[in-house]
Every structure is written in structure tokens, then in C-alpha cells.
Amino acid sequence: MEQTIKRNKKKRVQVKNYQAESRSSKSNGRIVSSSRRPINLSTEISGKETENITRSNRSFQRKPRKESFGIGHSPQSDHRNQRTKETSRESHTNQSIRYTQPLKKRSEPSLRKERSSGSRPRSNRIGFDGAINSSPTNSKEKSREKHFFSVSEVKKQRSTIETGENIKMSFEVSQPVDLLTDDEECERAKDISVTDVKVQSSFSTRKIVVWGCVICCVIIAVSVIVPITVLFGGSSDINFPQLSKANGKKVVASISTDICNESVPKSGACTPIDEYEDRQGGELCNLVAKSMINTTVYGDIALINAGICKQNLRGPELTADSIEAAIAAESLVVIDISGVDVVNILTQAVTATFGSPFSNYQAYPYAGGLRYDVSANLPPSERVSNIEVNRGLRDDVWEPIDVRRFYKVVTTELLAKGGMGYISFGNVIDDWKDPLGIKTGDAFYNYAIKNSNNTEWSVLPNSEYSTQYFRGVDDEPVIADVPTRLCHALIPGQPESSFCTAADVSHGGEVCNLLTWAIYDQNFGIDMVMLKGGSCAGDIEEGEFVESSFGSVLSENQPLVTVDLLGSEIVTMIKDAISSAVNNGVMGDYPYAAGLKFDVSTTVSPALSNVQVLTMSGNWIPIADAETYTVATTSDLANSLSAKDMGTTMEEEIISYAEDWKRLFKPPADKASTQKYV
């Protein structure tokens, strides 16, 4: 203590402390006590600092006393300090103390501030090591904060001049403070250590509870997600029958007929060329695709290439070895793709199959739950048409593919990577490709086991074949489909073909009746069409109607003209044509018409009766002799200088009509030109 006083004297720092026990009051901007004696805090306090001291004193209901501490203190203050320490120990006996910095031994006295209701929030705190620390932020620390040692505002001014100059340090304390000795600080530290252990223990307990909740949530999530993933996501099933583990000689199932295999439809390897089934491709690949839909996942569509199927499966007994020899072992993958991708993949597959200059028949697509028509003789973008979907083959309902909808497609790993020309498969991100852990042979093997009690399980209905209609590269373009044979006849009741009967042509030849109505349908502004029976040459056979068929249907491809005739002139032309055919034996002159109908009698007179014309409203009315009608006919029948060329021929009109309607039907009986012939 004496050394401190001497050092202060050498530096010529004079500190005078005054204490006013009574309540202070403000007078003329100066801080005074009840004894009206001014309190001089330091010889170096500026006017600004005095103003801060005054403002600080206003914030308390009871004005605290102010003390100033220099680097040392006078012996006269020892008695007052001792009394202050005793009072502080009594008031803080049960209060919690908290270190904000590691405890360090200090020679300078510690500072403590009692918390009062008017104090400002503690943004800064002074620890036992003298460092200024930020205030606690959470609520628990704030609740423990009410008894901590702190100084709300410390202004530390240091002036360091050259060696030998005076060094002054002053603290401004805005609230009452007590001084603690080093021994007291050590006692406080022991209490703080115990408190810190309790806080850490509470924090550790809270961490255990939080982590326990997290672990429980993970367990619950795994127990729910994993079964769903296995059921719908397409993961491997170790219980699924594996062909590689089966007894090769053991009979798996019985089949009533051989299961035929061919890469491209209409190759003739499976069914006779003239049968309808030759347009649908091999049975084996269609069955393999069907077996892949429901394996370890429930797919919507299954898609493979023809190269998966290698040879026929011979009956009547089917073994594991025969399945393994007939079906290539390719790993299966399930992919979620849109309908537009499915359309693109089919187009790419058919293009790869019939590409130029090289063709790869092993790339031809076979599917389950998906069907389509293939016309390899058309441009690439038009080769696949009429695409329909029956999701998972769960029922018999087929609907056009929805290009905006996503489908779960089961395919092989090779195709999923974009192989064999299936480019759009390769463009799908890998996250949408889920390996099933089984192979193509396993799927067919499992399908055969499940259906072994049904001897007809290997016979597919025509509706489930993926290729419903097929035209090869060298085939003629199909103009229309002919559901039933159309019979040709010159005179009613007298068919020209042995395949037809008199009943089939009771209203005249079906071919000539169809030809006149085709011209009438394709041309507006005409009232009727008239042709001779000799314009037609033969039957239109059931099946596909192509351009080469015209050679057997039309006798001559004549140009068409229009002519305006009175009703009386039309009746005269019909009478002359009937007389020439019936009486003179020129059967090719017999009249055929559209938009006009009549009755014919070969035994009584008159031979022609009940002549009617079709109006624009669709009604049949008697022909008017004085009215003019526009008639479309051939140039050899017109025989008039007033005839106008229509710029088309009979063949062109038939082609246009067939392309519009896609099918050729015989006209209904009420529209045939000859209603009665006796």
C-alpha cells in the first residue's frame, strides 16, 4: 500500500475522494451533496465527463454515491472500504456468480455492481480478468444474470506519452460498486465452478433428449418408407423365382401349341402369309413383354426389342432349360417417362429397325400394355400410328396414349441406356431408373409358374399383341381397309364372281354403286352421278385396298365431266341404257347412279318407273322433267359440246374417298340406284 502511494506521489497524481452520506442533489449543473460541498472526482475530469456523471445519477430513484479510483488510494479511505466490503458480503451471500472469462490473479481490485430496476441493459460486462465481454443472449442466462458482478459503463482513458511523462487512468462508475479482495474472488470462483457444472449438465440432458427424438423419427421414417419403396419403387426381391437357380430338367408348365418367335411381323416364320396374325409378330416376345409388367413392381408398360427372343418354345412341356435357351438374360429396369417419350421411343425403334442403308431387325419393338400400327413404307415420322395404352393390362379397356402423362415402363438395362437406337431412354436421368434385380428370363419363368394350371396361358388374344397392323418397307401404301368383299355385277341379280351370290347383287353391282357414291361424295355442286356398268371390272377383295387394286376394279380410268340436263333428258338416257342392256344384250350399258334411284321391270311396260332425286336436305323427291340438273359422268356418255372437264378421273376420286373414310363399305340398299329389278 505504501509503495502505491509513493508511486502516485512520484507521478504527481493527486486524488481527492469525498463521500457524501446524505442524498445528493443537483445545483446549477454541478453535483453537490447535502452538505453543499462539491465532489471533485479527479483533477483531470473534463466538463463532458461531468455531464455524463450528472446524467447517470438521474436514472436512479435513490441517488447513489460516486467514487473515483485512481491507480492508488489514500490511507484515509481504508476504514470506509472495509465497511463497504462487509455490507457487500451480507447482501450477496446466496447470489449466483458466473465467470465470462477464465479466472486470473489480479492485483487490482474487482468491481461489482448491484442490479437495480433503473439500470440499463448490460451490453458490456467486466470479468474477473478485467476483459470487457458481450452480454448473454438466451433467456436462461438473462435469468441468472441478475446477481452477476458488472459495471454498466466504463470509460477508460489512457494517455501514453513519452517515457517520463505522467500516465493517468480513471474510471467513471455510474452505480455503486464494492471492492473485493483476491481471497474473496477465489471464493466466488468456487461457487461459479459449481454453477457452470450444473449448466453444462442441464445442456447435456437437453442434447440427449433432442437426439433421442431425432433417432425415433428416423426409425419411424425408415419403417414406413422402406416397405413402400419395395412395393412401388422397384427394388430387388430376393424371394422372386430365379431361372438360374431352377432345376433345368424340371417341367415348369404345359403349352397347347408351340410358342412362335419372329423378329419382324409378316416374316412368315410363325403363321401362314395369308392369315391375319402374320401382321402381329411373334408370340414369344409379346408373352415376354406381358410377363415383365408385374414382377417386383406393378408397371404400366413393358417394352423390349426383338433380339431378346432367340428361338421358338416347343410344346407340350416347358422346362427351365428351354426358357433359358429361348430368352436372352437381360437385367430389368423400371423408368418413369412421359407419354411423348414413349411415342418418340417407338418411332426411334422402328426407324432403327428399317433404317437406311442398314436395317437391324433385332431392334423391332415388342410391348405389353401398349399397342400400335406400323407402316414401315412411310416416312419415319409417320411409321407408328394409333398408339393405345392399357395400363398394366388390368382390364380390357384400351385408350389413346396421353402424351402429358407419366407411365412406369419396365424395360431392359440395355434399352434404358439408349441402346439399339432407343435414344430417348438414354436421355432420361439415372435417378428415374430403378434396377429390379431380376432378368427377362426370370420374369417369363415366374409368369409360366403362376399360370401353369391354365393350358391356354401361352395363347394371347389378338387385342394384346403390341403390333396390331404392319406394312413392310416394300409393301404398297394401303389406301383403305375393306372389311368384307364388295361384289361386282353388270345387271342386278347376276354376279360376275363365284365368290358372290345373286342376293349380294340384288340391287346391282356393289362396286359400281360404291364408285358412283364416291364421286358424288367428293364433289359439291353436282346433283347426281351417272356411269355405265361396264366402268367396273371386278370384285374388291376383303383386306387392304392399295393402288394396284385398281387394275382389277376399274375397266378404264376415264376422265370425268359435268353436263347440265333437263329432268326429261335424264329419264330418256336411263331408258335407253336399260333397253340396250336387257333387250340388246349389251350388259355393260346398264345404268348406275348416285343421287338418283329408280325401279326397273323387264316384263311389263313401262320398263322404268318411280324415278327420284336426292335434294340438298337429304330427302328423295320425284324428278322434275322441266328442271335442269348438273350431272357428273364420263366423257363418252356426255356426247355434248356443253360438257365441262372436272379435272379428275375415276381412280383419283376413289383414292380421295378411301383416304377420307379409311374403309370401303358397300352402300346401304336405300341408296342403291336400282331399288327394284324384276
At 471 the pLDDT is 87
Of 485, 517, 515, 512, nearest to 501 by C-alpha is 485
pLDDT of 226 strictly over 90: no
- Cα–Cα distance between 320 and 324 in angstroms, integer? 6
Using the structure block, give the residue that is written with the C-alpha cell 446549477.
Answer: 28
pLDDT of residue 209: 77
pLDDT at 605: 76
Sheet holding 331-338, edge to edge: 365-368, 301-305, 406-412, 331-338, 433-439
Give the pLDDT mean for 511-522.
93
Judging by beta carbons within 10 Å of its beta carbon (0-12, 13-18, 19+), is residue 315 exposed, middle or buried? middle
Q: Please, which pLDDT band fits residue 348 given cuts at 50, 70 and 90?
A: very high
Fold of the CATH domain 243-475: 5'-nucleotidase;  domain 2 (3.90.780)
String of DSSP letters for 174-205: SS-EEEE-HHHHHHHHHHHHHHHHHHHHHHHH
Q: What is the pLDDT of residues 28-73, one digit of tens each?
A: 444 433 334 444 433 344 444 444 444 444 443 444 444 444 434 4
Are 286 and 310 spatial neighbours (Cβ–Cβ below 8 Å)? no
pLDDT at 268: 65
Helix H segments across 157-304?
Answer: 182-228, 283-293
Distant-in-sequence, close-in-space partners of 503: CB < 8 Å, separation ≥ 6 = none
- Does domain 479-677 bear CATH number 3.40.50.2300? no
Give the burial string for 384-408 (b: 16+ CB within 10 Å, else e): beebbbbbbbeeeebeebeeeeebb
The per-residue pLDDT for 137 is 45
Specify the residue for cell string 451471500.
93
- Is residue 276 within 8 A of residue 388, CB to CB? The reply is no
Task: Find the helix or strand (DSSP H, E) in which 332 lies.
Answer: strand 331-338
Same fold, 243-475 and 479-677: yes
- Sign of the torsion angle spanned by Cα atoms 561, 563, 569, 570: positive
Instruction: Give the start-to-end residue ranges of the domains of the chain.
Output: 2-201, 243-475, 479-677
Neighbours of 382 (CB within 10 A): 10
pLDDT for 401-428, tens place per residue?
A: 999 999 999 999 999 999 999 999 999 9
Percentage of the chain beyond pLDDT 70 is 65
* Predicted pLDDT at 551: 82
Which DSSP state fits 559? Answer: E
